[in-house]
A and B are shown apart, each in its own frame.
Chain A
Amino acid sequence: TQLLEQSPQFLSIQEGENLTVYCNSSSVFSSLQWYRQEPGEGPVLLVTVVTGGEVKKLKRLTFQFGDARKDSSLHITAAQTGDTGLYLCAQMTSASGTYKYIFGTGTRLKVLA
């Protein structure tokens, strides 16, 4: 069974600090998605990374896909209180013509004013 492990599980930082969260797989990703989920809402897609070594930037968020496509990181520069939420990585797997979406365990980020 493919697992997605995220670290750290919890993170509490002051506004303005930088942080990195990680997503690791037991096997190679075909592609990987990062989501953010706020309380009482469903997850919202932030980015999809596809190519090993790929780096994507979304304002203050930088997403990196490992060269071997077994790990990914999300770096936030100068965190703001609006960045607070649950960050999830996810990937789609397929076998025998059917599909599953596997989500990571999540990193719960709290940014303090």
Chain B
Amino acid sequence: GAGVSQSPSNKVTEKGKDVELRCDPISGHTALYWYRQSLGQGLEFLIYFQGNSAPDKSGLPSDRFSAERTGGSVSTLTIQRTQQEDSAVYLCASSLDLMNIQYFGAGTRLSVL
């Protein structure tokens, strides 16, 4: 596609449920990034992929969070047993490679009730 696409754009879930957020990067971009943005705040870096590999998972907030990328393309961020503090906008970005400009999607707004 022309840009980074994220789905769903909005997700409302009940505390304790699992959610899966999807990111479709720009075609040909080898690097992919996930961020979390709480209301009106800066971005919190969660994880990056170089190809299908995530070299450093220490930025994930807890072991309830996991991410994977397949085929060097689509990535999913999964949050298990959601908590209210998980409510935020989850942003995905991709770049040609790690040293290149990041292009962001519009984000998924997650609300945990």
Contact = CB atoms under 8 A, between A and B. Distances in A.
Interface of A: 4, 6, 40-45, 86, 88, 90, 92, 97-106, 108
B102 interface: yes
- Give the secondary structure class of A's interface: strand
Contacts of A106: 40-42
A41 B106 contact: yes
Report, nearest first, the 7 A-B pairs whose CB atoms are least far apart: A42-B104, A98-B56, A103-B43, A103-B42, A106-B42, A98-B55, A101-B45
A42 B106 contact: yes
Contacts of A104: 42
Interface of B: 4, 33, 35, 40-45, 48, 55-56, 59, 91, 93, 98, 101-107
A72 B104 CA distance: 23
B18 to A, nearest CB: 24
20 contacts: A4-B42, A41-B107, A42-B103, A43-B91, A45-B101, A88-B42, A92-B98, A98-B56, A99-B55, A99-B56, A100-B45, A100-B59, A101-B35, A101-B43, A101-B45, A101-B102, A102-B45, A103-B42, A106-B40, A106-B42
